[in-house]
Amino acid sequence: IFENKGAAMGCSNPHPHGQIWTTTSLPEEPAIELEQFKKYHREQGGCHMLEDYAKLEIEKAERVVYQNGGFVALCPWWATWPFETLIIARQHKRALTDLLFEEKEQLAEIMAEVTRRYDNLFETQFPYSMGLHQAPLEGSGLEIECSYFHIHFYPPLLRSATVRKFLVGYEMMAEPQRDITPEQAAERLRSSGGVLYRKKMEEQL
């Protein structure tokens, strides 16, 4: 399940919409994640990697953008994109179908907080690719149990509404480079909360 927002991310339809793709095998990125989840689960006595990681980030607080009772949004230390964020369930949830009604409301709240802060950061319709990773529709009992619901946001903007990051040259041929630290990105996003900038502009007219 994913959404592309903005022409910079190849979105041809301006209205909000997402896509659901179903494949006969697990795609590469979630498959790599799941292998690491299984390894951690096995080596750490049944613990879940992202649950433990969320606890550590909440304790440190420096990379946390926003949190509520069910989820935390943060700028992960391994991020490639300048304002990349990750939404993680604070307790083990395998998929959307595991969420209680209250948790669905908490998920909606934190997604709105992240996207509003994106828009407020450079006062623009902030482009991004967003994707949900969750348990596969078909898999072994271990694969389903070790899956952990989380959401990736990959936004390209770097310094302003018109300056974006490009993964080219060294970053394409060798490894990605950070333009700002995840701590700096999280601080700027934390400071971009509040009323959506467009509503403020409307009120001033």
Residues designated catalytic? 17
How far apart, in whole angstroms, are the C-alpha atoms of residue 136 and residue 28?
13
Q: Which residues contact 76 (CB under 8 A, 6 or more apart)?
A: 63, 84, 85, 86, 182
Look at the chain and count its residues: 205
How far apart, in whole angstroms, are the C-alpha atoms of residue 194 and residue 117?
8
- CA-nearest of 192, 185, 157 to 63 is 185
Name 164's bridge partners: 157
- 23 C-beta neighbours (distance < 10 Å), count: 8
How far apart, in whole angstroms, are the C-alpha atoms of residue 128 and residue 121?
13
